[in-house]
Amino acid sequence: MHKNSNAAFWLVGYSLMILMAGTNIPSPLYSVYQHQMGFSSGIISLIFAVYALVLIPSLLVFGQLSDRFGRKKVLLIGLVIAAAGSATFVFATNLVWLFVARGLQGLAAGMMSGTATAALVELRPDHRKTASLVATIATAGGSGVGPLLGGILAQYAPSPLVLPYIVHIILFIPGFIAILIMSETIKSKSSGSWRLQRPSVPSTIRMPFIMGAVTSFAAWSVMALFMSLLPSYISSLMGIHNLAVTGGVVFLVFVASAIMQFTLKNLAFQTSMISGLSLLIIGLTGVLFAVPIQSVLLLMISAIITGLGQGLSFMGSMALVNEVVPESRRGDVVSSLYVIIYTGVGLPVIGIGFIAEWIGLYGAIFIFAVFIAVLVILMAVLIPTKMKQEMTANSMT
């Protein structure tokens, strides 16, 4: 039983990683679609962001459904829909197909993100921090592998807009089989009549949840920039048109994130979040300076620094939330966190894309960097203060 549970734990993590890889395979390919179909940076941002806009209501529904009907059923359906999203990309010949494909990917990610994270914790109930670490590394690692895989296959293999998605569908097979035969992780499911509810957070953990949610919002809004518009930024402003290189820059960000989460997994929540947010600003500043001096080296270094910052800030926020959430509310609360995360993935990118239509992509990213800097300063002040107040209140009770 222990061996089966251990195998299930790692294969759920694998499935989450492959899911996230698939959602990011298109990142280096948006410029190819743009060239073939003739759309603007604003449309790229919408194609990318429809994923998040579909994902959020999906999270609202399936986080609660997995608490009631079990993780296994939701995970299996999510894997099938994710494979359907990749299959739709294979046949994409116009913008409608691209939007539908991204919508399917968002639906699948909404079903699986919070559910898989909750299942990992339930498969390792005595090692919640390890489960949180696997969830964050699977998310970051898969998000990095996807652009690299898509970029290399598109640049050097035949059928650049087909083969990456075929490979992704094949990679899903082991995870699907594993989840199909694994045991349900929920020991006591929610009872009573079901109705759709807004995600809610118990008042006892509201303040630490807000701290984690805002930190995650900032971390993933920066990542969304790298996944959506940075390949166009690199090709149009730095003259680099190799898809493997543009996909590799996104890969560097996520690999750095995963490495940081693994090597500093025991770092305190507060230190992890504040230092991570600070590194995000340094990385964004480097990306901005790389253009006027046309330095690929500075771009690569900045990408790595950004990834380090994202890894630290996301790891700290996820571990904090998983530590304080009540067992019976895990699926709902984790899904609530992902709603905030994917709001950060979707909305800022849309803004950047359409601002770029007015003042250019460089100016739009500069404005975004200023916004993140203000948010980081605010959090640097609030996190120590609020966490100290929370600890004082807990000690008094």
What is the DSSP track for 99-161? Answer: HHHHHHHHHHHHHHHHHHHHHHHHHSTT-HHHHHHHHHHHHHHHHHHHHHHHHHHHHHSSSTT
Share of the chain above pLDDT 90, in %: 34
Asked if the model's pLDDT at residue 342 lies above 90, the reply is no
* pLDDT tens by residue, 71-113: 888 899 999 999 999 999 999 989 999 999 999 999 999 888 8
The pLDDT confidence band at residue 331, using thresholds 50, 70 and 90, is low
CA separation for the pair 314, 212 (Å, rounded): 8
Residue 223: Cβ within 10 Å count? 28
Q: Which of 216, 227, 237 has its CA nearest to residue 356?
A: 237
C-alpha pair distances (Å), 189 with each of 186, 216, 267, 278, 322: 6, 28, 33, 41, 19
How many residues belong to the chain? 397
Averaging pLDDT over each range in 135-139, 204-208, 249-253, which range is the top one?
249-253
- Letter for the amino acid at 310? Q
Select the more confidently predicted residue: 391 or 247: 247
Quick check: 245 pLDDT over 60?
yes
pLDDT band at 393 (very low <50, low <70, confident <90, very high): low
Number of Cβ within a 10 Å radius of residue 11: 19
CA atoms within 13 A of residue 51's CA, in its CB half-sphere: 31
Q: What is the pLDDT of residue 188?
A: 60
**Is the model's pLDDT at 340 over the cut of 50?**
yes
Close Cβ partners of 269 (under 8 Å, ≥ 6 residues apart): 316, 317, 319, 320, 323, 387
Average pLDDT over residues 128-134: 79
- The pLDDT assigned to 227 comes to 86
Tell me the CA distances in angstroms from 94 to 50, 83, 104, 202, one per residue in order. Answer: 16, 20, 16, 45
List the domains of the chain with CATH numbers.
2-184+203-396 (1.20.1250.20)
Q: What pLDDT sits at residue 187?
A: 67
**Largest separation between any pair of C-alpha atoms in the chain:** 65
Report how far residue 269's alpha carbon sits from residue 132's, in angstroms, rounded to the nearest whole number.
13
Q: What is the pLDDT of residues 107-116, one digit of tens each?
A: 999 888 878 8
Q: Distances from the Cα of 48 to the Cαs of 26, 86, 304, in angstroms?
A: 9, 14, 22
pLDDT of 375 reads 84
Task: Return the pLDDT at 1.
Answer: 39
Question: What local confidence, expressed as pLDDT, does residue 29 receive?
Answer: 92
How many of the other CB atoms lie within 10 Å of CB of 150? 33
Predicted confidence at residue 182, as pLDDT, reads 81
Q: Which residues of 49-78 are buried (b: 16+ CB within 10 A; e: fewer)?
A: bbbbbbbbebbbbbbbbbbebbbbbbbbbb
Residue with tokens 């303040």: 207
Q: Tell me if residue 177 falls in helix, strand or coil.
A: helix
> Taking the complete model, does pTM exceed 0.85, yes or no?
no
Helix (H, G, I), strand (E, B) or coil at 309: helix
Q: Which residue's structure tokens are 């299996």? A: 76
When pLDDT is averaged across residues 230-246 and rounded to a whole number, the result is 85
Angstrom distance (rounded) from CA 90 to CA 159 = 10
Q: What is the mean pLDDT of the chain?
A: 85
Above 80 in pLDDT, residue 118? yes
Q: Which two tokens stand for residue 129?
A: 């921090």
Buried b (16+ CB within 10 A) or exposed e, 356-388: beeeebeebbbebbeebbebbeebeeebeebbe
28-37, 185-194, 339-348, 368-377: lowest mean pLDDT where? 185-194
Which one is predicted more confidently, 331 or 246? 246
pLDDT of residue 125 exceeding 80, the answer is: no
Decide if pLDDT at 394 tops 60: no
For residue range 268-310, list pLDDT tens digits in order. 888 898 899 999 999 999 999 998 898 889 999 999 999 999 9
Distance of alpha carbon 126 from alpha carbon 60, whole angstroms: 27
219 in Cβ contact with 280 (< 8 Å): yes
Q: Assess contact for 342 and 102: CB atoms under 8 A.
A: no
**pLDDT for 168-192, tens place per residue?**
999 999 888 888 888 777 766 555 5
